[in-house]
Amino acid sequence: MGDFNVSLHSDESTAGTSSCTLAMQDFQECVDSICMSDINRSGFQFTWNQWPRSSSSILKKIDQVMGNDVFIDKFTNAYAVFYPYRISDHFPTMIKIPVINARKPKPFKFGNYVIKNKEFHDTVSREWAQDVAGHEMFKLVKRLRMIKRHIRTLMWSKGDMH
């Protein structure tokens, strides 16, 4: 994301379509060689105003927000917003990356079949014997959590029966 001082394509200017300059070719080759592409965008098409206070100004897209394939795959909902310019001759830009909801762990389901496993009884005895400080209800919850982790491992080691 930034000001590259050159357009990527010849149609990114209000001055009309022109031929591709040497600087544009160099920029295109650089972007292609590092496998970057524009991310989704909204707002203004052009990002720079040559004469902000003049009625005959030239607008160009010289500010880019790009990502590589890994970024675009990971943040598929990311997009850039180009706002109207105010003080600078560049249009302020903000990249928005919506929050991705983290996967929540599946609720614990106890499979009765696991109690026939000798490791189950050893695990429960060992974990229940752990010293836990606190009120009685806290001790109970803490011990159950410690045991749950081991029971999940036991259930998956024998194949997930759920």
Residue 52 to residue 54: CA distance in whole angstroms: 6
- H or E stretch covering 141: helix 136-157
Output the pTM of the full model: 0.51
Residue 125 to residue 118: CA distance in whole angstroms: 11
Instruction: Supply the pLDDT for residue 160.
Output: 59
Instruction: Supply the pLDDT for residue 55.
Output: 66
Instruction: Supply the pLDDT for residue 54.
Output: 61
Say if CB 160 and CB 111 are below 8 A apart: no
Instruction: Supply the pLDDT for residue 10.
Output: 78
Instruction: Supply the pLDDT for residue 18.
Output: 66
Q: Which domains does the chain have, with CATH numbers?
A: 2-96 (3.60.10.10), 112-157 (no CATH)
Helix, strand, coil % in the chain, rounded to nearest 5: 35, 15, 50
Residue 114 to residue 152: CA distance in whole angstroms: 10
Q: Hey, CA dihedral for 127, 130, 135, 136, is it positive or negative?
A: positive
Instruction: Supply the pLDDT for residue 127.
Output: 86
Instruction: Supply the pLDDT for residue 102.
Output: 67
Could you state, in chain order, the average pLDDT of each consecutive group of 10 residues for the chain (162 residues)? 80 73 87 88 80 71 87 88 80 83 75 82 88 89 88 75 54
